[in-house]
Each structure stands twice: as structure tokens, then as C-alpha cells.
């Protein structure tokens, strides 16, 4: 295993490097090629050993970049169909390039070129070149990717760094948390147990001070600054991150929404690429873990989506659309 520490690689940099690598090859890369060469994975890759945690990280990253609208494809090996170990992954340039009806003015092109220069001179492109060299050493034909393909990735929430520091100290934290439907944020004091990313969003798994009840908090709903208190707690013995992800996955699997989408629309394209989506006639069955987050997403598609069930989601989307109409007169 490399002596480099993958914890120092930000998640947005790892996703960026993954997209670059998958754009750079026509035939796609196997999971082993990705884990052993791409920045953010290769630091923890074991040539002979267990890479189960690394494979789970890759599975989550696949969901994240698909959620960003990146058309990641899975290709079966022609000589061994049905063998998941030989699946190859790629991002077809044709599906990721800008539509032909979009054009830029001379000023806009200049600004884009300047932005590309910033990427080219940064440390990310150096890591990408290292990854490309390693891919070539594996016999994979790879072209230099166009830096204009930089994906729109989320940065970490403002509360992340403080919570991460508290995790390292086993220290209680205090923050204001605003739940959907509540008029004011409530102050919570908790023992942080794990910070995990699920479906592209950061969550804090923690135990409530005083009651010991385990709860999950969405970082985007933390209001204001997080304070690290002077109170500490014993370090847990088991893998809290794995438990937190397992619990989030159980919630996600337990909730299903049924929506009708306009054929050929942006909503149809994006929602069908969500992990676990099942198409039944003109309907899509979508898994979700937070009804308010899904309502925000579906409302953003406007008339391209009609929610069939559950009733709570239908009402939440209708409420958002009504407020948007009222705000715009």
C-alpha cells in the first residue's frame, strides 16, 4: 500500500480525477484499473489484499457523478458477458459534450480559455497526468482529456472541517439545526461518531448528549458555526462510518416515489440515471431518503415531472411550485 494518505485528497478532487480518467479512454476502465491509478483511490489500493472499503467508496462516487448529470456508462466484456468483475466504465465524450446549438461569444471563449489555463497549471492536472501515465503503462490507450470537461462538483459544507476536527478529538459539538417545516433552528449538543457522504450529501452520525439517542444530521441544515465543547467521550470500538452508511442505505431503500416524466425531457434523462431507478411504462420508481430534498429536486424540473405517490411528496412539490409562482407574480 502507498504511504500517501488518501484522507488528504478532497472528495471533489477525487471525483474530478475520476471523470478525467473515464473521459480519457475509449474502451473504458475496469474497477481494478480505476482503483489502482486514479487520484484518491490509488493511495489506499492494495495489490494483494482486501480493497472492499475502496470498492464501496467507488460505488458511492459513481452515484455522485451520475447525480451531477455525468453520463457514466457500464460496458460488459465481449469475451466474458455477465461477469461483473470484468465490467468496464467510461464516459462517452459525445454524450458529455455541449449540445451543438450552444455557442459562445469571443469574450466568453476568452474567459473559458483563461479558466482552462488555471486548471492546467494547478496541482489537479499534475495528478491527472500521473494517472494517465499509469493507465498507459497498463496498456490502456488514453488521449489527453480537454480541461473544459471539469464537472460541477459540490464542495464540502461549511460545518465539515469543524466536525471532522471534533471527530479526531472525540469531543462533543454544539450547533443550531433547522429541520424542514420548523420556523426556528434548535441548538443540538451531540457526540460526533462519523461523517459520511451518501447520495452526494454529507451527513453527521451522532449521539445526543443526555439521552444517548443516535441521530443523523444533514450538514446543509446546520445553521451558523459549529462549536467544539470541552467535553469528550470514549472512542467507539466498531466502524461507525460503515454503520452510518448502512443505516442511510436502509432508509433510502425503504422509501420509493412514483413519478411521471415527459419523454425526452431533461427530467427523464436525469432521473433515469439515478441509482435504483425502475421504469414501469410511463412511470419512474425512485428511491429516496429525505422527502424534502427530493421535493426540491423534482420541483426544479417544473412541468416535466408529475408526482403520483407518496401523497406527502406530491404535496411538498405542489407547495414549492405554488410558492415559486407566487414569488414571480
Q: At how many degrees (to 10) do helices 52-67 and 11-23 cross?
A: 80
- Classify residue 123 as exposed, middle or buried by CB count within 10 Å of its CB (0-12, 13-18, 19+): exposed
The answer to whether residue 207 sits within a structural domain is yes
The DSSP-derived string for 28-44 is -EEHHHHHHHSTTTGGG
The answer to whether residue 211 sits within a structural domain is yes
Q: What is the pLDDT of residue 186?
A: 94
Domain of 136, in residue numbers: 6-149
Q: What is the pLDDT of residue 297?
A: 92
Grid coordinates representing 179? 429541520
Domain identity same for 25 and 105 = yes
Domain identity same for 139 and 171 = no
The answer to whether residue 312 sits within a structural domain is yes
Q: Select from 192, 210, 240 the last residue of a domain.
A: 240
Q: Select from 240, 269, 301 the last residue of a domain.
A: 240
Domain identity same for 101 and 68 = yes
How many domains is the chain partitioned into structurally?
3
The answer to whether residue 197 sits within a structural domain is yes
Residues of the chain with pLDDT under 70: 1-8, 77-85, 94-104, 109, 112-156
Q: What is the pLDDT of residue 103?
A: 67
The answer to whether residue 309 sits within a structural domain is yes
Q: What is the pLDDT of residue 98?
A: 61
Q: What is the pLDDT of residue 254?
A: 94
Q: Which of 324, 269, 277 is nearest to 70 (CA)?
A: 269
Q: What is the pLDDT of residue 109?
A: 67
The answer to whether residue 247 sits within a structural domain is no
Is 62:151 a contact under the CB 8 Å cutoff? no
Domain identity same for 26 and 75 = yes
Query: In angstroms, rounded to a whole number, what is the distance separating the alpha carbons of residues 265 and 257?
Result: 19
Q: What is the pLDDT of residue 146?
A: 40
Domain identity same for 143 and 171 = no
Q: What is the pLDDT of residue 298?
A: 94
Amino acid at each position: 500500500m502507498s504511504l500517501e494518505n488518501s484522507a488528504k485528497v478532497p472528495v471533489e478532487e477525487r471525483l474530478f480525477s475520476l471523470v478525467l480518467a473515464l473521459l480519457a479512454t475509449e474502451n473504458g476502465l475496469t474497477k481494478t484499473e480505476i482503483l489502482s491509478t486514479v487520484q484518491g483511490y490509488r493511495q489506499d489500493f492494495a495489490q494483494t489484499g482486501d480493497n472492499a472499503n475502496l470498492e464501496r467508496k467507488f460505488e458511492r462516487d459513481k452515484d455522485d457523478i451520475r447525480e451531477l448529470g455525468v453520463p457514466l456508462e457500464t460496458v460488459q466484456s465481449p469475451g466474458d458477458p455477465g461477469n461483473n468483475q470484468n465490467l468496464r466504465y467510461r464516459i462517452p465524450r459525445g454524450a458529455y459534450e455541449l449540445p451543438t446549438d450552444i455557442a459562445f461569444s469571443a469574450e466568453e471563449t476568452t474567459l473559458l480559455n483563461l479558466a482552462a489555463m488555471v486548471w492546467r497549471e494547478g496541482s489537479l492536472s499534475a495528478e491527472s497526468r500521473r494517472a494517465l501515465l499509469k493507465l498507459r503503462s497498463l496498456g490502456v490507450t488514453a488521449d489527453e482529456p480537454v480541461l473544459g470537461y471539469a464537472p460541477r462538483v459540490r464542495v464540502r459544507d461549511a460545518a465539515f472541517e469543524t466536525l471532522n476536527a471534533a471527530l479526531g478529538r472525540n469531543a462533543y459539538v454544539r450547533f443550531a439545526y433547522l429541520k424542514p417545516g420548523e420556523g426556528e433552528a434548535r441548538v443540538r449538543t451531540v457526540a460526533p461518531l462519523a461523517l459520511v457522504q451518501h447520495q452526494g450529501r454529507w451527513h453527521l452520525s451522532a449521539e445526543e448528549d443526555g439521552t444517548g439517542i443516535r441521530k443523523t444530521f444533514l450538514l446543509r441544515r446546520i445553521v451558523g458555526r459549529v462549536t467544539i465543547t470541552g467535553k469528550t467521550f470514549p472512542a467507539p470500538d466498531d466502524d461507525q462510518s460503515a454503520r452510518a452508511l448502512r443505516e442511510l442505505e436502509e432508509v433510502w431503500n425503504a422509501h420509493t416515489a412514483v413519478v411521471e416524466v415527459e419523454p425526452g425531457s431533461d427530467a427523464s434523462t436525469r432521473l433515469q440515471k439515478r441509482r435504483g431507478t425502475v421504469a414501469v411504462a410511463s412511470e419512474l420508481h425512485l428511491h429516496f431518503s429525505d422527502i424534502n430534498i427530493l421535493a426540491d429536486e423534482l420541483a426544479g424540473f417544473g412541468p416535466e415531472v408529475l408526482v403520483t405517490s407518496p401523497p406527502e411528496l406530491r404535496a411538498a412539490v405542489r407547495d414549492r411550485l405554488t410558492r415559486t409562482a407566487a414569488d414571480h407574480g
